Structure 1
Amino acid sequence: MQPRMNIAHLAPDLYRAVAALDGAVKTSGIDDRLLHLVKLRASQINGCAYCVDLHVKEALADGLSAQMLHLLPVWRESPFFDDRDRAALEWTESVTLAAQTGIPDAAFEVVRAAFSETEIAQLTIAIGTINIWNRIAVSSRLQHPLEMGPESVREAK
């Protein structure tokens, strides 16, 4: 699959604005571990290979376990995730899939039980921001780097 376009070069001012928003999210006070989980889960839902690859690498570098990351798609069944994680992941899924979920009151009640209003606002903006990045990457077919060459990938199958 070939990249379609380089959005950063074609719309640099807008791209920088998204990057600035992402920087503001990173310094907003959201726990780094939780932010990794939110970014990775939204990227999985949106089918963004580039973002999944990036956020797995960042999470591992920051000390999250590989096992936790492997179990993220099935977080409801795993003891790795505490009540705040579960609330944030429920909210991430509801907001990311807004067209399908309608962001139900039940999801809001779960997140409201675990987070302050300010934290919910910050979390919602973080979810919106990763969804922007996912849509930029998926629509432009941004390619994740291969740790090995294409020939090695075929041989490994």
Structure 2
Amino acid sequence: MRARLDYMATLPEAFKPLLKLSDLAHNSGLEPAIVNLIEIRASQINRCGYCLDMHTKDARSAGETEQRIYGLNAWRDTPYYNQRERLALELTEVLTQIALNHVADEFYQRLLGAFSESELVKLVTAISTINMWNRFAITFQSDAGSYKTEHFVAQTALEKTH
């Protein structure tokens, strides 16, 4: 598969806020493992090869285990994730497939039992952000496997323009 176009270079002003949201998600105070798991799980659901490549590499470099990454698609059936991670993964699935699901009152109450209101907003921000990235990468067929080269060059170029 070959990239259709470099969307970040085509309209860089559109990606400054998205890059800021990504930065916010990663520096929000949520456990880094939760943010990494959210990004991988949403990318699995959306079948985004580029983002799967990126976020599994980032998670591994942050210390995530291969076992937890490999088991993520079956997180309900494995013992590798704690309660907060499980709830974050469930919310990721609900929001990533929002047309099929809604956040039921019972589920929302379970979320409030494990996360503060501020943390819930941070979770929804992280989930929404990766879903936006997935949609760009899928539409324009970003080159899976190229992360650590093109991404940093494009991000550095965007940062220099603001």
TM normalised by structure 1 equals 0.88
Match in the other structure for 1:88: 88
Match in the other structure for 2:133: 133
Amino acid at match of 1:34: I
SS at match of 1:63: coil
Give the number of aligned pairs: 147
- Runs of 4+ off more than 2 Å: 102-107
Match in the other structure for 2:55: 55
Distance in 1 between the 2:82 and 2:107 partners?
A: 16
Q: State the shift of 1:28 in Å.
A: 1.1
Distance in 2 between the 1:46 and 1:34 partners?
A: 18
Identity of aligned residues (%): 35
Contact 1:94–1:107 (CA<8 Å) still a contact in 2? no
Q: Which runs of 5+ in 1 are unaligned?
A: 147-157
Distance in 1 between the 2:110 and 2:48 partners?
A: 27
Q: Which runs of 5+ in 2 are unaligned?
A: 147-162
Q: Is 29-38 or 109-118 further displaced after alignment? A: 109-118
TM normalised by structure 2 equals 0.86
Distance in 2 between the 1:45 and 1:53 partners?
A: 14
Compute the RMSD of aligned alpha carbons.
Answer: 1.5
Match in the other structure for 1:41: 41
SS at match of 1:142: coil
Match in the other structure for 2:22: 22
Distance in 1 between the 2:103 and 2:41 partners?
A: 16
